[in-house]
């Protein structure tokens, strides 16, 4: 005879185990990086330029470079992605062309990041003659995170109940007024979620910036968007594989700074999102 009580317990045990397995690696990554990286963190490490062939000194130029690149990518991708999402969700008719566009966006999300890197070189660095520069790198990262922003923004827009749109239109509001005053304010927290995901991805990727912007060693800060910069993920790659005899704590310290930077940006976005959600009245 089967004992339903026992079956239940076994099922519960395996489900719990699976969930635990997700937590363990995440926890371990954070613990190991903090444990090994924290000793390296001090004021000099955060504000000084790399010295002695990057074996000592700080990582300030890489921090600044990553901030520039992520900001650039968001400035480029958020407006375009949001406008495209509004078009696809509110205006586009459900026809063949729209289906192709949607399929293209899904496929774009699945393209490996190194392919974006090569594409960025071909289009921005070579064809448009931006050279290896902040502009080229930001645009490449921007294109990489576009599908994330579009997909999540579309979901956010679609989650606003249709009845709100109908009520607004019945009061004589135009389609655009309805989007502006009713749909967007209620979709904003979802759109911010997409932005958070985009920021995380843009900050962490190495391949797209490898050929389009990242400098191996460039202690001075850039003066314009047409110059190269160092960036944290590439710097981490360089000191881990290209430069011999780099102290372990510097490597883990760099990783920790990158992790903290992404978490910090996410935190800001989460707080903004929380504020908007509290205002949400349904």
Partner 1 sequence: MVEFLIRDLNIWFSSIHALKNVTLEISANEILSVIGPANSGKTTFLRMLNRLNELNANFRMKGEVKIAGQDINDMNVELLRKKVGMVFALPLPLPLSIFDNVAYGAKIHGTRNKKKQKEIVEHALKQAYLWDEVKDRLDTSAFELSGGQQQRLCIARTLAVEPDVILFDEPCSGLDPISTAKVEEAMLKLKENYTIILVTNNVKQAARVGDKTVFFLSGELIEIDKTDKIFTTPSDKRTDDYIRGKFG
Q: Note the residues at the interface with partner 1 (CB under 8 A).
A: 93-94, 163-174, 177, 181-182, 185-186, 280-282
Give the shortest CB-91-to-partner 1 separation in angstroms: 12
User: Are the C-beta atoms of residues 113 and 137 closer than 8 Å to each other?
Assistant: no
Question: 146 or 183, CB closer to partner 1?
Answer: 183
Give the shortest CB-177-to-partner 1 separation in angstroms: 6
Question: 157 or 256, CB closer to partner 1?
Answer: 157
Spatial neighbors of 200 by CB under 8 A, at least 6 apart, are 262, 265, 266
Question: 146 or 179, CB closer to partner 1?
Answer: 179
User: Are the C-beta atoms of residues 153 and 85 closer than 8 Å to each other?
Assistant: yes
Read off the DSSP letter of residue 91: I
Give the shortest CB-213-to-partner 1 separation in angstroms: 42
Question: 160 or 236, CB closer to partner 1?
Answer: 160
Give the shortest CB-156-to-partner 1 separation in angstroms: 14
Question: 67 or 173, CB closer to partner 1?
Answer: 173
* Distance, CA of 191 to CA of 152 (rounded, Å): 6
Give the shortest CB-161-to-partner 1 separation in angstroms: 9
Euclidean distance between the first and the last CA atom of the chain, given in angstroms as a whole number: 49
User: Are the C-beta atoms of residues 147 and 108 closer than 8 Å to each other?
Assistant: yes
By the 10 Å C-beta count (0-12 exposed, 13-18 middle, 19+ buried), 212 is classed as buried
Q: Helix crossing, 134-158 with 96-110: angle to 10°?
A: 120
Question: 100 or 167, CB closer to partner 1?
Answer: 167
Give the shortest CB-99-to-partner 1 separation in angstroms: 15
- Return the number of other C-beta atoms located less than 10 Å from residue 230's C-beta: 27
* Distance, CA of 156 to CA of 143 (rounded, Å): 20
């Amino acid at each position: 005879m089967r004992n339903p009580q026992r079956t239940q317990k076994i099922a519960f045990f395996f489900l719990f185990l699976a969930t635990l397995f997700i937590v363990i690696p995440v926890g371990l990554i954070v613990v190991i990086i903090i444990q090994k990286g924290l000793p390296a963190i001090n004021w000099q490490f955060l504000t000084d330029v790399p010295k002695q062939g990057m074996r000592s000194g700080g990582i300030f130029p890489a921090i600044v470079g990553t901030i520039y690149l992520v900001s650039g990518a968001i400035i480029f991708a958020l407006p375009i992605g949001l406008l495209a999402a509004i078009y696809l969700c509110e205006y586009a008719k459900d026809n063949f062309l729209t289906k192709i566009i949607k399929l293209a966006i899904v496929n774009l999300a699945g393209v490996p990041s190194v392919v974006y890197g090569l594409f960025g070189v071909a289009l921005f660095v070579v064809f448009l003659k931006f050279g290896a520069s902040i502009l080229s790198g930001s645009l490449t990262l921007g294109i990489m995170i576009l599908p994330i922003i579009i997909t999540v923004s579309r979901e956010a827009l679609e989650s606003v109940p249709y009845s709100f749109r109908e009520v607004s239109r019945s009061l004589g509001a135009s389609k655009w007024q309805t989007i502006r005053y009713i749909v967007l304010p209620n979709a904003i927290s979802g759109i911010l979620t997409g932005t958070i995901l985009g920021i995380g991805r843009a900050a962490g990727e190495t391949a797209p910036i490898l050929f389009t912007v990242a400098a191996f060693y460039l202690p001075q800060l850039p003066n314009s968007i047409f110059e190269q910069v160092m960036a944290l993920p590439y710097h981490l790659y360089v000191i881990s594989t290209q430069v011999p005899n780099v102290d372990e704590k510097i490597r883990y310290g760099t990783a920790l700074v990158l992790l903290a930077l992404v978490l910090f940006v996410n935190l800001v976005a989460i707080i903004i999102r929380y504020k908007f959600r509290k205002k949400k009245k349904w």
